[in-house]
Amino acid sequence: MKRFILLMVINLGLLSISSASAQKFDNLAKTPPMGWNSWNKFACNIDENTIKGVADAMVSSGLRDAGYVYLNLDDCWHGSRDANGFITADSTKFPSGIKALADYVHSKGLKIGIYSDAGRQTCGGRPGSLGHEYQDALTYAKWGIDYLKYDWCNTENVNPKGAYTLMRDALHAAGRPIVFSMCEWGQSKPWTWAKDVGHLWRTTGDIYNCFDCIDDHGSWKAFGVMQILAMQDTLRKYAGPGHWNDPDMLEVGNGQKVNQDRAHFTMWCMLAAPLILGNDIRTMSKETAGIILNKEVVALDQDTLGLQGLNFETKDSVQVWLKPLAGGDWAFCLLNATTKDISFPIDWQHYNFTDKEVSGRSTDFDRIKYRIRNLWTKKNEGATSSNKTVNVPSQDVVLYRLTPVKK
Ligand code: GLA
């Protein structure tokens, strides 16, 4: 009997050890991750001086203090694998190595992210992690990495759930908390299976730096801001604290018009999307800084309820979006994706609704009077007790935060 009990205890112990490693790191990404990534602006042209310059700019511009703390290397930092199969950095571009870069980034009060791929090679043709998952996870932990974007090129017959779960387990076993960003472009509908695997998952193919168009390469497409937005609405029930839908990194400041950038940034905040900047923040314009550093808009994205907004309706070519916020507030957004300005009447009662699908929250405009704060003009605009007509400029937004007036 004693032997039986002893065996049971050992078995239970082993069970708890194996189940302890089979999980993702908890308490990471409780709100959508914020930071910067090298790909959208620099593609493969990255090196340690550029990245250090970006780190400096994240601090001096105020981005770090506004919450953008992850500085993420994307593709092409890699050299080859050493004789034992461990990955090394490209010694021409990163002569001091990734550990030294991570130390520099950490010394600025930032966190550092890295990039790999579940296949043989990354999309840029560098060594992928296939067959080296535990080795790579150990290496990242040793270097002090805080965030891993894990891509999906050259995966051939690899099974997505298996591959991402394997890397999750490898990261967990390596012991350093690392945000796990899954980049398989939504192909296997990761929102249906990845809640306990990754902290965020891409929902679409790559973003294309265009407000409203598709970049069609035949076998693959990249999507403009409006095209990506249209693919998000049905996914809102899958997102929440620690597990986010990722409609891809931002193109704000990469050459679109200021109104288009404002609409792009606003809609990513309405979606509770990860806010990963993709512009050259060392040289950004005042207009770009004014958009990405608007703290009241960022606060919609970072709201602690972690609820993705919804497209309530499209009326007279204006998309009306609502997002439930903590404390009974709502974000109310009018998006005009057309090329003409639109004068739009707001009858608040028309927006009485209950979010049955996700939060159970009701707007209740007949019983609750809300104070209206315009988050882009930064002005208060009265209350929802009176209806109003607003001008929604072409390819732009009107964005309100509604806060219940206490009786
Ligand atoms: C894929 C990803 C992009 C980027 C590139 C790098 O296309 O979806 O976000 O990481 O690879 O090669």
| Alpha helices (runs of H) in 66-150, residue ranges in sequence order | 97-107, 133-143
- Nearest protein CA to atom 1 of ligand 1, as residue: 123
Tell me the percentage of the chain whose pLDDT exceeds 90.
94
State the residue for tokens 């007279």. Answer: 316
pLDDT at 407 > cutoff 70 = no
What domains appear along the chain, each with residue ranges and CATH number? Answer: 2-301 (3.20.20.70), 310-404 (2.60.40.1180)
Contact yes or no for 114/38 (Cβ under 8 A): no
Q: 3-state DSSP: the chain helix, strand, coil percent, rounded to 5? A: 30, 25, 45
**DSSP state, 354?**
B
CA 398 to centroid of ligand 1, rounded, Å: 32
* 192 within 8 A of 158, measured Cβ to Cβ: no
Under 8 Å between Cβ of 40 and 249: yes
End-to-end CA distance of the chain: 69
Instruction: Indicate if 151 belongs to the active site.
Output: yes
> Mean pLDDT score of the chain, rounded to an integer?
95
Task: Give the pLDDT band of residue 1 (cuts 50, 70, 90).
Answer: very low
Backbone angles phi, psi at 320, to 5 degrees: -105, 120
- pLDDT above 60 (res 252): yes
- 82 catalytically annotated: no
- Ligand 1 atom nearest to CA at 185: 8
User: Which pLDDT belongs to residue 406?
Assistant: 84
pTM of the model: 0.95
Hey, which of 45, 46, 74 would you mutate to test ligand 1's pocket, going by the most ligand atoms within 8 Å of its Cβ?
74
CA angle (47, 49, 50) in 5-degree steps: 70
- The 10s digit of each residue's pLDDT in 24-61 is 999 999 999 999 999 999 999 999 999 999 999 999 99
Which residue, by CA, sits nearest to atom 8 of ligand 1? 206
* pLDDT of 348 above 90: yes
